[in-house]
């Protein structure tokens, strides 16, 4: 998920530059799929290691913010 999130600004700029909003929507769909897969493979609330649980929660929170921002554009 981290690498997908990292490219958000570049994707937004590319979609704007090329005049192709589908670039952004495809990215958001891919991000949503990545988040879904991550969530099912990596427990957050059930994680015994508190630091790891917090890191996973932060990653999910960042993903949520990115999806929200992308949908708002």
Q: How far apart are CA 56 and CA 45, in angstroms?
A: 10
Contact between residue 11 and residue 4 where contact means Cβ atoms under 8 Å apart: no
Give this prediction's pTM: 0.87
**Can you state the angle between helices 21-41 and 50-72, rounded to 10 degrees?**
160
**What does the alpha-carbon distance between residue 45 and residue 48 come to, in Å, rounded to a whole number?**
8
Is 17 or 2 the better-scoring residue by pLDDT? 17
What pLDDT shows up at residue 47?
80
Residue 6 scores a pLDDT above 90: yes
Task: Tell me: pLDDT of 15 over 90.
Answer: yes
pLDDT, residue 32, reads: 97
pLDDT in tens, 21-61: 999 999 999 999 999 999 999 988 888 888 999 999 999 99
């Amino acid at each position: 998920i981290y690498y997908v999130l990292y490219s958000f600004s570049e994707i937004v700029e590319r979609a704007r530059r090329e005049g192709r909003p589908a670039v952004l929507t495809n990215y958001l769909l891919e991000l949503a799929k990545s988040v879904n897969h991550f969530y099912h493979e990596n427990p957050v609330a059930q994680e015994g290691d508190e630091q790891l649980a917090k890191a996973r929660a932060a990653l999910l929170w960042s993903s949520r913010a990115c999806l929200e921002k992308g949908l708002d554009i």
